[in-house]
Amino acid sequence: MELPAATNEYGPSSEIAETDIIFECPHCAKSLAIDWRGAGLMITCPDCGTRIQVPESDDDHMAAGAGVSIAPLEGQYDVQIRNLSEALNHSREKIRQLMSSLDNTRKRRSSLEKMRVEQLTRMERISAEMAVIQSSLDRVVNLIGEAMLHRGEEGENW
Ligand SMILES: [Zn+2]
């Protein structure tokens, strides 16, 4: 029967299942992880080559294993929380930019509205002035008409 191979050392790159038995080589104190089905089996330590027995997954070892497996899990949560918090900060910054851009748009719109009103007022003033000019022109035309009429009458008298 083939003995299950113990992984060399658990680190961030090695994959350790939650069910794995994690123990130390009694000879070289190397941290080893082995599938839970390898409990009680004799294996060769991959580091020092000593024949060692995999401990049974009793409560002590389970607790030790849990202690080991919880640590990287917490690290993972930390990273997740940091990522979420960064994403949240990013979103907040985005919202702040959008709000500022919205504010600018409002300001621009209100300034455009003001300009429109000013233009309208100017147009009204121009149109009022045009009406004054028009009535002046009408008066001038009338006066010219009257003058020509008088001249005609006078001419007849000449
Ligand atoms: Zn060893």
Buried b (16+ CB within 10 A) or exposed e, 124-149: eeeeeeeeeeeeeeeeeeeeeeeeee
Confidence of residue 6 (pLDDT cuts 50, 70, 90): low
**pLDDT exceeds 80 at position 4:** no
pTM check: above 0.75: no
Distance 49 CA to ligand 1 centre (A): 6
Overall size of the chain counted in residues = 158
Which protein residues have a CB closer than 5 Å to ligand 1 (ion)? Answer: 25, 27-28, 30, 45, 47-48
Q: What is the pLDDT of residue 63?
A: 47
Q: Are 43 and 6 in contact (CB under 8 A)?
A: yes
**pLDDT exceeds 80 at position 153:** no
Q: What is the pLDDT of residue 124?
A: 92
- Would you give the distance in Å from CA 111 to the centre of its chain? 30
